[in-house]
DNA sequence: GGTTCCAGGATAGTATACAAAAAACAAGAT
DNA sequence: ATCTTGTTTTTTGTATACTATCCTGGAACC
């Protein structure tokens, strides 16, 4: 937080937002492992901010379920089990299926063009095997697709759950054959939406999510992310 | 907030939690209508607390989606449309269906006994047509039932959505014939869980939620809750 | 009459100060 | 030696102080 002592928003973003995003990222990537107690003064000093915005960030993380608040003991980073990952995929699957008809209904030529444009950029990443760059793009693709449904509340929940998975979806995408297949599926999705083939879209999507879940769980089983 | 100037937790609960719950309730019941800007000093004075805990409560409400944060302008109570209500029911329906097999699997004799005990109390309320008392009990019944699934993440989402509906489910229950029918369905649910009849349970539940949604939407259409 | 610019008030953003609870520690009694 | 109890330290909870920004309203100017 390199900025003058009193400057609430250097470039239009409260410090608490930065703190929130920083902490969220740190927790999701495992940089701050589960079980760790977040002592306010410690982290405030670390980030060169005061306790006030840090605390507000913690309240948001608390609502997100990323940290747990214990009365008069502050917050502790919550654990994350394999069962959690499964459950998250289950939620995402169920809710995403609900959006599909609305996506097909609301898809505009411009929207589809925008998706195609994203796919084009992704093509290159896949070719170059640049996983680092592909991962966020793939996520953006999905987000944009889902957003077309205009079902804002469902969206909010899906995106909330997605945040938990980001950390793992990178693992999932690391698998070469799966990466190729997933990319091909992304192309198909757009075509089906364009053709307004709801049935086909639903079938494809169900498989797509199921496979990425399998892949993610398999990758996780071999990784050292999980402890329990 | 009647308490000495410096007493963080009179009876083990931070002021920010009280503020959070109070505001949430006020927003959900419509006491603070949509579009209203929540000026920090104003509400802090109103509740006889300082801005700090109030702000932390606002951050939580922000994550809940009950208020909207505008840069440097604070928070505004978000609007609530009929489409929102429909979407919420859709979410709840989809997720609740996911929990049913797990509920049947994890149901213990004690758990069923506890549900039956609740039903017994509800019987009286239904008989006396005491809607005020029945409403929270009915909600508690559903919560307890869903909790049996042990699917904690799904639960968290469902309960999050449920909070939005509380305000309207009272309307729904006000309808005499529906109230009677719903109560009967509650009894059936427990029986089906006890018999471990997943299929029957699923069928009943699907209808139950669908009907309560219809009822709620119908009631809403006639009420003055909705503006848009 | 309308537009621009300045001043001042209102309000959010942040920092800091201080109280209270809990935890950690030390010393004495049993 | 262990339990108890008193004291210190750490850390959370809350209040307050201060600053930056936005908004409003009015004066000056065209």
Q: Residue A192's CB: how many other CB atoms inside 10 A?
A: 20
Is the per-residue pLDDT at A218 higher than 60?
yes
The answer to whether the C-beta of A180 is closer than 7 A to strand C is no
Interface contacts (A, B; CB < 8 Å): 79
Is the per-residue pLDDT at A81 higher than 70?
yes
Is the per-residue pLDDT at A228 higher than 50?
no
Residue that is written with structure tokens 């005990």 in the block: B117
Is the per-residue pLDDT at A49 higher than 60?
yes
Question: Can you tell me the mean pLDDT for A50-57?
Answer: 97
**pLDDT of chain B, 228 residues: tens digit per residue:** 433 344 444 457 999 999 999 999 999 888 999 999 999 999 999 999 999 999 999 999 999 999 999 999 999 999 888 888 899 999 999 999 999 999 999 999 999 999 999 999 999 999 999 988 998 899 999 999 999 999 999 999 999 898 888 777 777 788 889 999 999 999 999 999 999 999 999 999 999 999 989 988 888 887 766 654
Q: Does A70 touch chain B (CB under 8 A)?
A: no
Partner B, chain A 154-173, Cβ-Cβ below 8 Å: 154, 156-157, 161
Q: In what order do the strands lie in the sheet with A74-77?
A: A37-38, A74-77, A67-70
Q: Does A18 touch chain B (CB under 8 A)?
A: no
Spatial CA neighbour of B17 closest among B57, B48, B47, B52: B57
Spatial CA neighbour of A83 closest among B105, B153, B155: B153
Helix ranges, chain B (H): 15-28, 40-47, 51-64, 82-106, 109-128, 131-147, 152-173, 176-194, 198-222
pTM for this model (two decimals): 0.85
pLDDT digits (tens, 9 = 90+) for A100-117: 999 999 999 999 999 999
CB contact under 8 A, B95 and A98: no
Report CA(B39)–C1'(D23) in Å, whole number. 14
Report CA(A58)–C1'(C3) in Å, whole number. 47
Q: Does B17 touch chain A (CB under 8 A)?
A: no
Q: Residue A108's CB: how many other CB atoms inside 10 A?
A: 9
Three-point CA angle B45, A49, B5, nearest 5°:
30
The answer to whether the C-beta of A41 is closer than 7 A to strand C is no
Nearest to A87 among B57, B97, B153 (CB): B153
């Amino acid at each position: 937080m390199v900025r003058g002592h009193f400057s609430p928003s250097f470039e239009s973003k409260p410090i608490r937002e930065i703190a929130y995003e920083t902490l969220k990222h740190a927790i999701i990537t495992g940089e701050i492992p589960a079980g760790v107690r977040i002592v306010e003064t410690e982290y405030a000093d670390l980030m060169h901010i005061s306790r006030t915005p840090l605390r507000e960030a913690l309240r948001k993380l608390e609502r997100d379920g990323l940290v747990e608040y214990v009365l008069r003991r502050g917050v502790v980073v919550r654990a994350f089990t394999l069962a959690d990952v499964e459950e998250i995929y289950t939620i995402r699957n169920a809710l995403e299926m609900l959006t599909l008809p609305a996506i097909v209904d609301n898809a505009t030529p411009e929207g589809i063009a925008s998706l195609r444009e994203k796919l084009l950029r992704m093509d290159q990443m896949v070719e170059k095997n640049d996983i680092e760059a592909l991962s966020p793009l793939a996520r953006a693709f999905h987000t944009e697709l889902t957003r077309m449904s205009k079902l804002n509340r469902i969206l909010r929940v899906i995106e909330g759950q997605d945040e938990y998975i980001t950390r793992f979806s990178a693992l999932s995408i690391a698998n070469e054959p799966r990466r190729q297949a997933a990319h091909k599926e992304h192309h198909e999705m757009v075509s089906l939406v364009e053709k307004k083939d709801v049935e086909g879209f639903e079938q494809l999507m169900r498989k797509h999510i199921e496979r990425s879940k399998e892949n993610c769980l398999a990758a996780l089983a071999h990784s050292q992310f999980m402890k329990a």
